[in-house]
């Protein structure tokens, strides 16, 4: 056990520790407890929805493609033909957040590229 801890500390010194709480305007994600609030009201998210939101918040300001989201969440290869899994989860997230597709406040679609949360 000591050897494992020693190796972990030695080889992971450059890695930044992940924040337990991510805040973006009125959106607060607690990564440790998998809780999310918007305007101080709890959002009931599925684990997949939470993971998508977590990835987008972690990559705030950067475009994350559907392929990247799919790979990070499920670890599988993304099949672009007839696969709208991420699109459906994004739609559900927007509905739960009260975010509109036409004028989104949080999750923005970058056509042909992916999704992002503005910094």
Residue-level pLDDT at 15: 47
CA 78 to chain centre: 17
- Which 8-state DSSP code applies to residue 77? P
- From residue 116, alpha-carbon distances to 2, 33, 87, 104 in Å are 41, 23, 13, 11
Best CA proximity match to 89, nearest among 112, 73, 110, 103: 73
Tens of pLDDT, residue by residue over 72-117, are: 888 877 666 556 888 899 999 999 998 877 788 889 999 989 999 9
* Residues 110, 116: Cα–Cα separation, whole Å: 7
Domain 20-117 in this protein, CATH class: mainly alpha
φ and ψ at residue 22, rounded to 5 degrees: -115, 130
- Copy the structure tokens of residue 63: 């475009």
d(CA 8, CA 25): 35
Total length of the chain: 119
Span between the terminal Cα atoms of the chain, in Å: 41
pLDDT in tens, 1-38: 566 656 655 665 554 455 788 998 889 999 999 999 99
Domain ranges of the chain: 20-117
């Amino acid at each position: 056990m000591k050897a494992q801890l020693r190796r972990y500390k030695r080889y992971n010194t450059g890695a930044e520790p992940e924040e337990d709480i991510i805040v973006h305007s009125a959106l607060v994600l607690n990564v440790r407890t998998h809780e999310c609030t918007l305007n101080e009201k709890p959002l009931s998210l599925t684990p997949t929805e939470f993971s998508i939101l977590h990835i987008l918040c972690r990559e705030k300001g950067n475009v994350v493609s559907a392929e990247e989201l799919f790979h990070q969440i499920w670890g599988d290869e993304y099949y672009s033909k007839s696969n709208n899994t991420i699109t459906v989860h994004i739609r559900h997230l927007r509905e739960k957040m009260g975010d509109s597709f036409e004028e989104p406040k949080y999750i923005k679609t970058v056509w042909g590229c992916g999704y992002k949360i503005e910094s």
